[in-house]
Amino acid sequence: MLECEPGDWVEIETEDGKYTGILMERPELAGDKHMVIKLESGYNIGIKKDKIKKIRKISTRIREEFKLKKHERDPSKKDISILATGGTIASRVDYITGGVHSAFSAEELISAVPELGEIANVQGRQIFNKFSENVAPTDWVTIAEAVYEEIKKKASGVVITHGTDTMGYTSAAVAFMLQTSVPVVLTGAQRSSDRGSSDAATNLIHSAIVASCGNFSEVVVVMHAESSDSYSFIHPATKVKKLHSSRRDAFKTVNTKPLGRVFREGVEFMQEVKKDKELTLDTKLDEQVFLLKYFPGLKPSVIDSLVDGGYHGIVLEGTGLGHTAEGLFEGIREAINSDVVVAMTSQTIFGRVNMNVYSTGRILLDTGVIPCEDMLSETAYVKLMWVLGHTRKPDKVREMMLTNYAREVSERSIFTHKNSRKNQ
Q: Are strands 100-102 and 289-293 parallel, antiparallel or unpaired?
A: unpaired
Q: Which of 264, 271, 327, 339 binds a copy of itself (CB under 8 A)?
A: 327
Q: Which of 120, 353, 384, 406 binds a copy of itself (CB under 8 A)?
A: 353
Q: Is 318 in the site for a copy of itself (CB under 8 A)?
A: yes
CA 204/CA 82 separation, integer angstroms: 9
Interface map 30-69 toward a copy of itself (x if CB under 8 A): ----------------------------------------
CA 301/CA 86 separation, integer angstroms: 38
Q: Is 296 in the site for a copy of itself (CB under 8 A)?
A: yes
CA 165/CA 245 separation, integer angstroms: 8
Binders of a copy of itself among residues 116 to 175 (CB under 8 A) are 131-137, 140, 164-166, 169-170
Shortest spacing between CB 152 and a copy of itself, in angstroms: 26
Shortest spacing between CB 76 and a copy of itself, in angstroms: 35
Burial track 75-98 (b if 16+ CB lie within 10 A, e otherwise): eebbbbbbbbbbbbbbbbbbbbee
* Active-site option among 165, 194, 199, 374: 165
Task: Single out the residue of 206, 82, 81 nearest to residue 154, CA to CA.
Answer: 81
Q: Is 50 a catalytic residue?
A: no
* Active-site option among 242, 283, 324, 374: 242
Beta bridge partners of 174: none
Q: Is 293 in the site for a copy of itself (CB under 8 A)?
A: yes
Q: Is 360 in the site for a copy of itself (CB under 8 A)?
A: yes
Q: Is 69 a catalytic residue?
A: no
CA 96/CA 53 separation, integer angstroms: 20
Interface map 243-282 toward a copy of itself (x if CB under 8 A): xxxxxx-x--------------------------------
* Active-site option among 8, 78, 88, 202: 88
Q: Which of 22, 30, 100, 225 binds a copy of itself (CB under 8 A)?
A: 100
CA 139/CA 119 separation, integer angstroms: 29
Q: Is 242 a catalytic residue?
A: yes
CA 374/CA 361 separation, integer angstroms: 15
CA 150/CA 83 separation, integer angstroms: 9
What sign does the CA torsion over 128, 131, 132, 136 have?
A: negative
Q: Is 422 in the site for a copy of itself (CB under 8 A)?
A: no
Name the residues annotated as catalytic.
88, 164-165, 242
